[in-house]
Amino acid sequence: MSSIKILYDEETIDRRVREMAEEINKDYDEPVLVVGVLKGGVFFTCDLVKRLTMPVTMDFVSVSSYGSGTKSTGFLKFKKDIDEDVSGKHVLITEDIIDSGRTLSMLRKVFEEHGAKSVRIAVMLDKPARREVKDVKVEYTGFTIPDMFVVGYGLDFDQQYRNLPYIGVVEE
C-alpha cells in the first residue's frame, strides 16, 4: 500500500484560495466567464468561484494537447468544448496545475482567437522546473512546487486520489 504525505492541508488550501479570490476581485470590475479545465481543475474552480464577487458565469472544457513539444503552437483536441461563446467576454481559465505549460498556452490562444475581451489564467499549483512552453503567463498562482508528482484536490495518479481534500505526495 502506498501512503500520502500531506504537502498542503485543507485549511492551507482554503486560506490560499481565499487570498487568490481577493486578488482576482480587485482586478476585475466586469462580469467574468470562468472556464474550468476538467477533470483536475474542478475542485479549485468551485472553491474559487464561491469567493468571487463580480457577476460570474461558469463553463468547463476537457482537452488533450498534441504536438510540437516545446512550442505553444501544437493543437488541442477538445473532448468537451465550452457551451458559451467567449467573444467579448473576460475569460478566466482555472486549472489544477501548470506543468509543461502546453495545455494552458494553447487554451489561452484558442480563446484569444475566438475574440475574448481578455484571457487570464489561475492555477492552484505551478511546477516551473518542468516548463516546456517558456512564455506562458499565469496571472494567479496558489503555490509553486518543486519537480514532484502530487495528488489530491483534483489531481490524480492513474485517476485515483482526486477526491482527497488535501494535496500530497504518493510515497511507496
Q: CB under 5 to 8 A by kind: which of ligand IMP, Mg ion, none does 150 bind?
A: ligand IMP
Burial of 139 (0-12, 13-18, 19+ CB in 10 A): middle
Which position among 27, 47, 85, 99 bears the catalytic label? 99
CB of 120 to ligand IMP, least distance (A): 16
Q: CB under 5 to 8 A by kind: which of Mg ion, ligand IMP, none does 65 bind?
A: ligand IMP
Identify the DSSP state of 73. T
Q: Return the beta strands (E) in the chain as ranges.
A: 3-8, 32-37, 56-66, 75-80, 90-98, 118-126, 140-144, 150-151, 167-171
CA distance 104 to 138: 9
99 is annotated as an active-site residue: yes
CB of 13 to ligand IMP, least distance (A): 15
Candidates 40, 101, 142, 152; binder of Mg ion (CB under 5 A) is 40
Candidates 20, 97, 119, 121; binder of ligand IMP (CB under 6 A) is 97
